[in-house]
Amino acid sequence: MKIKRQTESPWIREARAAFSANNQRMTRPRLQVMCVLDAAQRPLKAEEIRREAGLAETDLVTVYRNLEALRQLHMVQRIVLEDGVQLFEAVRADRHFHHVVCRVCHKAEPLDACAGHELEQQASRMGYQAVTHVIEVFGVCGDCARRQAAAVKADPRTP
């Protein structure tokens, strides 16, 4: 994957700046992982990121390490599905939001409300400090629900 500096997206530039502010070197695999995250249309598994970045199977550890580094810099957020599968996606412009994630196709759409702040305030009143929250909402998206319904109809075993 070839990347020209002048055509880099704002997210890549921001992540690059965050790394250099933390005295962390930009490596080729790191940049490849970043480009995949930047172009992704939905949250991806580390394995999907590895494959799309054109990295070898043995580079999966490197992918995880870079995802963790990006997460520490708040440039990437992790979504943990109900079955423990982890998905990663770029965080843009410091906007705080939660997703509803399709448990079938892993499509994730932002929700425009957050109940977390109320919960955090409650925790703060209880004397907790450095309070944060993680909220994930799961469901089956409209497309997948229709596909599933069509599959049931097409199955001759159903009356």
**Which residues contact Zn ion (rule: CB under 5 A)?**
102, 104-105, 107, 114, 116, 141, 144
* E strand spans, the chain: 76-80, 86-90, 98-102, 108-111, 137-139
Structural tokens at position 58:
């043995």
Residue 65 Cβ vs Zn ion, minimum distance, rounded to whole Å: 27
Q: For Zn ion, which is the closer residue by CB, 60 or 104?
A: 104
Q: For Zn ion, which is the closer residue by CB, 90 or 141?
A: 141
Q: For Zn ion, which is the closer residue by CB, 30 or 98?
A: 98
Structural tokens at position 114:
């957050």
Residue 59 Cβ vs Zn ion, minimum distance, rounded to whole Å: 29
Residue 43 Cβ vs Zn ion, minimum distance, rounded to whole Å: 12
To 10 degrees, what angle do helices 60-72 and 28-39 make? Answer: 70
Residue 112 Cβ vs Zn ion, minimum distance, rounded to whole Å: 11
The alpha carbon dihedral of 10, 15, 21, 25 has a sign of negative
Q: For Zn ion, which is the closer residue by CB, 3 or 114?
A: 114
* Residue 126 DSSP label: T
